[in-house]
Structure 1
Amino acid sequence: MTSTFNGIEKTERWQNLHRPESRETGVNVGRNERILSGVAGAALIAYGLRRGRLRALLLPLGGSLISRAVGGRCAINRAFGRNTAEGEDRASPVASVGRGEGIRVEQSITINRPPEELFQFWRNLENLPRFMDHLESVTVIDEGRSRWVAKGPAGSRVEWTAEIHNEIEDELIAWRSLSGSEVDNAGSVHFTPAGQGTQVRVLLRYDPPAGALGAAVAKLFGEEPSQQVAEDLRRLKQVMEAGEVATTSFADGRL
């Protein structure tokens, strides 16, 4: 049985939602421990914010647990040669998010530029950090694969390798993460003529290490995913129409 997600036909549920342990990335914390670390970290931060005297102790401790949940790396595990991620399911190279699972984000904006210009700018993936504030870098590996580094909660970094698996020139770019990624994700960007400009529509689905808790933690740190994407698209509009991003904050704006 098939269904349509992001304009692309896929199986009803993609397989390989597991994050296998990766010696190359140094992941040594299993899924269950990462979930528990995320829950405990969020609880400590929430409690610390209400208890002024304990804030200096609880906030760093909570942040370190969230970093452990997001990155799957633990210095204590490494020091003792412990690896709770080892032996988790391994499967095919694709590790994306099934239909109806994870967190879904959709945003759009109209930009006064032709579709072909916007398509070419986005297709050069190393341009993405110019307007995606949460991205530190995108490094192209080959024609279809790239390495992404993003800013995570509490100053942590999240990395994954993605592949472009569907592309229609001047219309569509679709990507998905590969196995070993710290965050399973899939998405697409659509370029549709709209009057004198182009509607740019982004659809994103991702599965944070701590499930739905990851979105709650992101909100706690002022980084709600839907708002991030909306602001990213505003910055893209400024880059394409004015050649630069204004320094004014868009936090209270709307598309």
Structure 2
Amino acid sequence: MFDKIWPGESNPDEVNVGDYERIGSVVTGAVFFTYGLARKGLLAKILAPVGGYLLQRGLRGTCAIYQAFQINTARQGGNAKATVHANRAIKVKRAVTINKPVSELYSFWRNFENLPSIMDHLEAVTVKDKDHSHWVAKGPAGTKVEWDAEIFREKENEVIAWKSVEGSSVPNAGTVQFTDLGQERGTEVLVELDYEPPAGVIGAAFAKLFGEEPNIQVQEDLRHFKQKMEAGELPTTTGQPSARES
């Protein structure tokens, strides 16, 4: 006989992982599993079973962690929308002070096709029109992630706010704010980002193993931005001074 599922309890066989997240789990799981089998050492021993779990998670559509916290992304209908769900989003907030005028920094950032020159994890950005663009980013272990984004709020020399459009495999939203500090103290650039990784919170956690954790990425991006705007180019030799972050 089947065990009775009481109200408020979760069925362990119930699909609770959304379609796009399942695809991300399969892709990430395959990369981790293959890497783990092909290599030796502690990292390989960790990644092989993790990859196997992510493959099973993607193929079956069930996640024990989601079940424990009563999360069900398959029900929310958010997989084909740009909404970033607070209960599984990764949040990043970083700032840097740059000794350049607000207008110069804003102008550089507003042309999104400039951003791959300061962001190592970005492969390309193609501007479609004033508000829409296509982004290609480098994912964990050599994978690629693509999405379309739109600007939904903008004030010249002050703020740019964006979100991924409907159908994005990596729902994300964020803002970059430019604040004139006055008295020739430069400009503060503040980036706030919310995003849902392709393999969910689990995928974000294991991305740290590859040095691609989002907080580190954004911190490095802003450091590169400072170096490029103040020196005109990014240093290519060791021993260069690092950016002064706030």
TM > 0.5: yes
1:120–1:214: structure 2 CA closer, same or farther, 3 Å change rule?
Answer: same
Matched to 1:125, the amino acid is F
Aligned pairs, number: 205
Contact 1:140 1:147 in 2 (8 A): yes
User: Is residue 2:205 matched to residue 1:216?
Assistant: yes
1:141 to 128, 131, 136: 128
Describe the superposition over 1:136-161 as per-residue Cα deviations: whole angstroms up to 9, x where unpaired.
11000111000000001111110000
Q: 1: CA distance between counterparts of 2:111 and 2:234?
A: 18
1:206–1:51: structure 2 CA closer, same or farther, 3 Å change rule?
Answer: closer
Post-superposition offset of 1:180? 1.9
1:151 to 134, 138, 157: 138
1:119 to 106, 109, 112: 106
Matched to 2:21, the amino acid is R
Matched to 1:188, the amino acid is T
Alignment correspondent of 1:98: 85
Q: 2: CA distance between counterparts of 1:34 and 1:152?
A: 11
Return 5+ residue gaps in structure 2 as ranges: 1-16, 59-73
Alignment correspondent of 1:22: none
**Higher deviation after alignment, 156-165 or 216-225:** 216-225
Post-superposition offset of 1:134? 0.5
Post-superposition offset of 1:100? 5.1
Alignment correspondent of 2:221: 232
Aligned partner of residue 209 in structure 1, secondary structure = coil
Post-superposition offset of 1:98? 3.2
Aligned partner of residue 124 in structure 2, secondary structure = strand
Identical aligned pairs, as a percentage?
A: 50
1:199–1:254: structure 2 CA closer, same or farther, 3 Å change rule?
Answer: closer
Alignment correspondent of 1:79: none
Give 1 or 2 for the bigger CA radius of gyration. 2
Question: RMSD of the TM alignment (CA)?
Answer: 3.7
Post-superposition offset of 1:222? 1.1
Alignment correspondent of 1:194: 181
Contact 2:20 2:169 in 1 (8 A): no
Moved over 6 A (4+): 87-93
Alignment correspondent of 2:194: 205
Post-superposition offset of 1:32? 3.7
Post-superposition offset of 1:43? 6.8
Post-superposition offset of 1:50? 3.6
Aligned partner of residue 236 in structure 1, secondary structure = helix
Describe the superposition over 1:10-36 as per-residue Cα deviations: whole angstroms up to 9, x where unpaired.
xxxxxxxx97xxxxxxxxx65346436
2:232 to 208, 223, 243: 243
Contact 1:94 1:179 in 2 (8 A): yes
Compute the TM-score of the two structures, normalised by the length of structure 2: 0.70
Contact 1:42 1:217 in 2 (8 A): no
Q: 2: CA distance between counterparts of 1:30 and 1:236?
A: 32
Q: 1: CA distance between counterparts of 2:82 and 2:155?
A: 23
